[in-house]
Amino acid sequence: MPDTVTLLIEPLAADADATAVDGTFREVDASAPALRVGELSTQRGDGIFETIGVVDGHAQEVRPHLERLRNSARICELPEPNLAQWEAAIARAVGALPATGEFALKLVLSRGVEHGPAPTAWLHVSPAADFSAPRERGIRVVTLDRGYDRGTAERAPWLLLGAKTLSYAVNMAALREAHRHGADDTIFVTSDGYVMEGPTSSVILRHGDVWSTPAPSGAILHGTTQLSLFEHLEATDRRTEYRDIPVDELRSADAAWLVSSVRLAAGITELDGAPMPYDAAETRALNEYLLSPRD
Amino acid sequence: MPDTVTLLIEPLAADADATAVDGTFREVDASAPALRVGELSTQRGDGIFETIGVVDGHAQEVRPHLERLRNSARICELPEPNLAQWEAAIARAVGALPATGEFALKLVLSRGVEHGPAPTAWLHVSPAADFSAPRERGIRVVTLDRGYDRGTAERAPWLLLGAKTLSYAVNMAALREAHRHGADDTIFVTSDGYVMEGPTSSVILRHGDVWSTPAPSGAILHGTTQLSLFEHLEATDRRTEYRDIPVDELRSADAAWLVSSVRLAAGITELDGAPMPYDAAETRALNEYLLSPRD
């Protein structure tokens, strides 16, 4: 069986009938050209995406990812996606994969070709990298100023802070900056000193028996993995809370993680060069849950 | 003759010999797929670009654009571009165009295909839109908060504020916000109230006989058209200066323009709903200069 699948998708209107899905997917070879140079995704980073984990033939948390895609489309004034069409595309791609192993499935909705009639869309799924080291041994993290204060997103919605756009050059540069400091990843903080998120992950802390994460405001993407973990923690009688977290409270946490859809939970072993307590047993339990089928 | 030309370019190392340029361009049909879905330009807005005006067979200010491309590559830690190769590609594309008319020539240098061996690059030139209305009758502009204070770029170089990256979703959203206010364009201001730049242009003001523009710091892209205009103004004995410009000084200017490589000089007739003095004669003179062959 192939271990990568690429589907080009003709986006349907949000209210199109489910039967209209037939014939709107076209499988292509990922190593062959599929996009025009006039694509606004490539010219302007003008589009949105989601990355979904696939574990042993099961795409995780499809609905929350698609709901977030819809929210990103609203913020970016892209046509509302047809979620049933995306679900069908995901099912078709996952059905073509081997029944075991971990994969990263990426959905992209672009504004389309410049002066073109319609958005373009595609899905690409490929084997996940081997994340056993960050999951089992943790990661070193540095904090980096994101340049915005806590009130920015509300004051300036055109900065698209709550949308998962394709304009991720800064996120990638922040990871390179972290690597220069000998770290594996970074946590963005506001210019007024509050914890935000990683460039491709959410932050979760534990102080005693209280689990917390920065309150999702317009400036923080609401993490699907964080949401799923909090539901799981609440279902097992743990206390969770959303709140503003000054960076000093991150430093004083009893344990902290970056969580994301494909790498899953990575415990923070070092923050800005200082050791952090690492909770191996809890990290193992979190990843066991995250690797189990979740909807 | 064709009025669009698209060249895919195999980027040469910066120190490659000029003779190595042969065979590194491939002309493709812009309406056919040319890029893979794994392109980091499209997945992450991870690449840089320049837009060059072409007037009656002459590409304007090629060297300053290529120098800026090189500077963007340095900030983004992309391999240094081979400027001779880009010059040859531009010459080849322009040579294939009709000898009269205005065109927009876009250079893109992408980080390449994910996990791929090398950056990808291309050039696309197409007819410019008809900009006679903004050049002759001016534009209405609103100011929008860019969310960063004046010191951000120096404090946080990972925000890539001085690079012309492909991550322009915010720039495009700011233009949509301007249109919602009934305006044609926008000027970004810092969160502490200083004039920055337009999403795709530089700001020039005139107070009496003094022409000014915001001091190019790490947060402002140094505009090639602004530079060219200032050289021209200085050559004709006008006084120019770079300085920090509080937004109130923009409001009190005797005239103000947004200048860019293809639209050229557009006088501001209205700022945040209030009329601005419009200098028709000076605007005509600026555009006459900008339409003349410049190197």
Which residues, in sequence order, are CB contacts of A28 under 8 Å at separation 6+? Answer: A6, A7, A8, A34, B37
In this predicted structure, the answer to whether residue A264 has a pLDDT above a threshold of 80 is yes
B172 CB neighbours in chain A (<8 A) are: 40, 44, 46, 111
B-facing residues of A in 208-267 (CB < 8 A) are none
Q: Does A106 touch chain B (CB under 8 A)?
A: yes
**Contact, A188 vs A146, CB < 8 A?**
yes
**B236/chain A closest Cα distance in angstroms:** 37
All CATH 3.20.10.10 domain ranges of chain B, comma separated, are: 132-291
Q: How far apart are the first and last CA of chain A?
A: 25
Q: Using a CB cutoff of 8 Å and minimum separation of 24, what contacts does B172-175 make?
A: B172/A40, B172/A44, B172/A46, B172/A111, B172/B199, B173/A76, B173/A77, B173/A158, B173/A159, B173/A160, B174/A158, B174/B144, B174/B199, B175/B199, B175/B200
Distance from CA of A134 to the nearest CA of B (A): 20
How many Cβ atoms are within 10 Å of A17's Cβ, its own excluded?
10
Chain A residues inside the 8 Å CB shell of B218: none
* Residues B169, A46: C-beta atoms closer than 8 Å: yes
Determine, for residues A169 and B174 on separate chains, whether the beta-carbon distance falls below 8 Å.
no
Residues of chain B with pLDDT under 70: none
Q: Which two tokens stand for residue B92?
A: 């080849």
What is the rounded CA–CA span in Å between residue A249 and residue A228?
Answer: 23
Backbone angles phi, psi at B60, to 5 degrees: -85, 135
Using a pLDDT cut of 70, give the percent of chain A over it. 100
* Nearest-by-Cβ selection for B169 from A38, A165, A172: A165
pLDDT score of A218 more than 80: no
Residue A177 pLDDT greater than 90, yes or no: yes
Answer whether A33 touches B (CB < 8 Å): yes
Mean pLDDT of A200-217: 95
B45 touches A: beta carbon within 8 Å: yes
CA dist., res. B193 & res. B143, Å (int): 10
Statement: residue A57 has pLDDT above 80: yes
Are residues A45 and B177, on separate chains, in Cβ contact within 8 Å? Answer: no
Provide the CB-side half-sphere exposure for B26 (13 A, CA): 8
β-bridge partners, A29: none
pLDDT grade for A2, boundaries at 50, 70 and 90 = confident
Higher pLDDT, A117 or A153: A153
B239 Cα to chain A: minimum distance (Å): 34
CA distance B146 to chain A (A): 7
User: Which residues of A fall within a CB distance of 8 Å from B29?
Assistant: none
pLDDT of residue A79: 96
Check pLDDT > 90 for residue A262. yes
A228: tokens are 């799923």
What integer pLDDT is reported at residue A86 of this predicted model?
A: 97
pLDDT reported for residue B158: 96
Helices (H), chain B: 40-44, 62-76, 83-95, 132-137, 152-155, 169-180, 224-235, 247-251, 280-291
pLDDT of residue A168 exceeding 90: yes
* ipTM (interface predicted TM): 0.95
The whole-number average pLDDT for the span A138-163 is 95
Q: Residue A237: which of A259, A211, A258 has the closest Cα?
A: A211
User: Which among A204, A118, A112 is positioned nearest to A166, based on CA atoms?
Assistant: A112
pLDDT of residue B115: 82
Which residues 6+ apart lie within 8 Å of A3 measured at CB?
Answer: A97, A98, A101, A103, A126, A127
CATH architecture of the domain covering B132-291: Alpha-Beta Barrel (3.20)
> For residue B231, what are the contacts with CB-CB under 8 A and spacing of at least 6?
none
Residue A202 pLDDT more than 90? Answer: yes
Contact assignment for B44 to A169 by CB distance below 8 Å: yes
Residue of A nearest to B189 (CA): A156
DSSP B80: P
Q: Which of A32, A148, A169 is facing B165, going by the closest CB pair?
A: A169
Paired tokens of A253: 């946490």
Shortest distance between the Cα of A52 and any Cα of chain B, in A, equals 14
Continuous segment of H or E residues that includes residue B121: strand B120-127
| DSSP strands (E only) in chain A | 5-9, 25-28, 47-55, 58-59, 102-110, 120-127, 139-145, 185-189, 202-207, 210-214, 239-243, 255-260, 264-271, 274-275
* A294/A290 Cα distance (integer angstroms): 8
Q: Nearest residue of B to residue A47 by CA position?
A: B169
Burial A138-148 (b: 16+ CB within 10 A, else e): bbbbbbbbbbb
Q: Say which residue the tokens 């609203």 belong to.
A: A74
Coil vs helix vs strand at A147: coil
Is the CB of A172 inside 8 Å of chain B's CB atoms?
Answer: yes
Task: Say which residues have a Cβ less than 8 Å from residue B30's Cβ, sequence separation at least 6.
Answer: A36, A37, A38, B4, B6, B124, B126
pLDDT band at A136 (very low <50, low <70, confident <90, very high): very high
- Choose which CATH entry (3.40.50.300, 3.10.180.10, 3.40.50.1580, 3.30.470.10) describes domain A5-127: 3.30.470.10
pLDDT at A41 over 80: yes
How close is the nearest chain B Cα to the Cα of A292, in Å? 28
Contact A247, A193 (CB under 8 A): yes
Q: Which residue has the higher pLDDT, B117 or A191?
A: A191
CATH 3.30.470.10 domain locations along chain B: 5-127
Question: Which pLDDT value is given to residue B2?
Answer: 83
B114, B48 in Cβ contact below 8 A?
A: no
Say which residue the tokens 């190197």 belong to.
B295
DSSP letter assigned to residue B192? T
Percent of chain A past pLDDT 90, that is, above it, reads 93
Per the DSSP assignment, residues forming a β-bridge with A271 are A141, A274
Using 50, 70 and 90 to split pLDDT, how confident is the model at A115?
confident
Nearest to A42 among B41, B148, B177 (CB): B41
Q: What pLDDT does residue B30 have?
A: 87
Q: Is A171 at the interface with chain B, CB within 8 A? A: yes
> Do the Cβ atoms of B4 and B125 come closer than 8 Å?
yes
pLDDT at residue A259, as a whole number:
98
Pick the range with the lowest mean pLDDT from A20-24, A72-76, A81-85: A20-24
Tell me the average pLDDT of chain A.
96
pLDDT tier, A216 (very low <50, low <70, confident <90, very high otherwise): confident
Give the C-alpha separation, B193 to B149, whole Å. 8
CB-based contact, A49 to chain B, within 8 Å: yes
pLDDT of residue B60: 98
In chain A, which residue's Cα lies nearest the Cα of B111? A169
Tell me how far apart the alpha carbons of residues B25 and B2 are, in angstroms, rounded to a whole number: 17
The CA angle B227-B215-A156, to the nearest 5 degrees, is 110
Look at residue B219 in the predicted model and tell me its pLDDT: 83
Span B43-88, pLDDT tens digits? 999 999 999 999 999 999 999 999 999 999 999 999 999 999 999 9
What is the spatial distance between Cα B9 and Cα B121, in angstroms, rounded to a whole number?
A: 5
pLDDT band at A37 (very low <50, low <70, confident <90, very high): very high
What's the rounded Cα separation, in Å, for the pair A114 and B30? 11
* pLDDT, average across residues A10-15: 95
* Pairing mode of beta strands B139-145, B185-189: parallel
Q: How confident is the model at residue A116 (pLDDT cuts 50, 70, 90)?
A: confident
Tokens 């920090």 locate to B244
Name which of B39, B170, B179, B200 to mutate to probe chain A: the one with the most chain A Cβ atoms within 10 A of its Cβ.
B170
Identify all chain A residues contacting B217, using CB atoms and an 8 Å cutoff.
Answer: none
